[in-house]
Structure 1
């Protein structure tokens, strides 16, 4: 990783999913994705703490977490309640809730993108690459 490496916060409560996402990203053919530093959070509380103290370029945000809905965090980031004084990261909702109203709610809460579960490794890399290019 270089000083300019992007930073990704993976907010996911399942340890196996966190491990798999990190493995996929670390093996990506796209350099910016492969060289990204991946921080993780297993809950909204941990994510809030990290976002308050770390600069992050992209948040991969699971919607169903043990201490609440990921849309709450997306809204807090959009309004500056979390991460105040830091640049707002790009937020991608990651969820198995794929109905049109779920997508609309994610975008309304401040998410910049949406990734349906289950997803292929190539889809994850493509979404991350696309959104990192916006930073």
Structure 2
């Protein structure tokens, strides 16, 4: 990852949510977040295709998708079954399921972080910035 142009894959089935997340990130005060290229997928199948074709630094992963649970994708990434042999992206679970066991399941499946819905724009930006900074620090 280069700090100037991280790539984020937004996996979210609701078009309005994808549009809003992209708008928030593109207006962030933090340059690394604002400058990120945001790709999107509305299904697990679409996310798998993007991950096999693109270098991705961070995934914002909705848990409830039309073709399955986002934890399936997190597990596949953790096991190295998708991604074309590229470094595993950081995965942040984004969900309205906020029970402690939901958070534990996400982390056990290979997610690196968890963002509760609904969230404030500032929380989204802070989460993305934090995970991109950790990734950049680990790469140096």
Following TM superposition, where does structure 1 have runs of at least 4 consecutive aligned residues deviating by more than 6 angstroms?
A: none
The question of whether the paired residues in 1 share the 8 Å contact of 2:9 and 2:56 is answered with: yes
Deviations 1:68-98 (A, max 9, x none): 0000000000000111410100000000000
Q: Which 5+ residue runs of structure 1 have no aligned equivalent?
A: none
Alignment of 1:23-38 (within 5 A): 23-38=23-38
Q: Following TM superposition, by how much is the alpha carbon of 1:4 offset from its aligned partner in structure 2, in angstroms? A: 4.2
What is aligned with 1:54? 54
Q: For 1:1-135, what aligned pairs fall within 5 Å after superposition?
A: 4-135=4-135
Report the CA distance between 1:3 and its aligned residue: 9.1
The two structures have a TM-score, normalised by structure 1, of 0.97
- Find the aligned partners of 1:120 and 1:39 in 2 and give their Cα distance: 21
Structure 1: how far apart are the matches of 2:107 and 2:63?
Answer: 13
Residues in 1 aligned to 2:127 and 2:49: alpha-carbon distance in whole angstroms? 25
> 2:110 and 2:66 mapped to 1: Cα distance?
21
Over aligned residues, Cα RMSD in angstroms? 1.2
Cα separation, 2, equivalents of 1:131 and 1:84 = 22
SS of residue paired to 1:115: strand
CA distance 1:3–1:117, change in 2 (3 Å): closer
Give how far 1:114 is off: 0.1
Which whole-Å CA distance do the structure 1 matches of 2:118 and 2:76 have between them? 26
Count of matched residue positions in the alignment of Structure 1 and Structure 2: 134
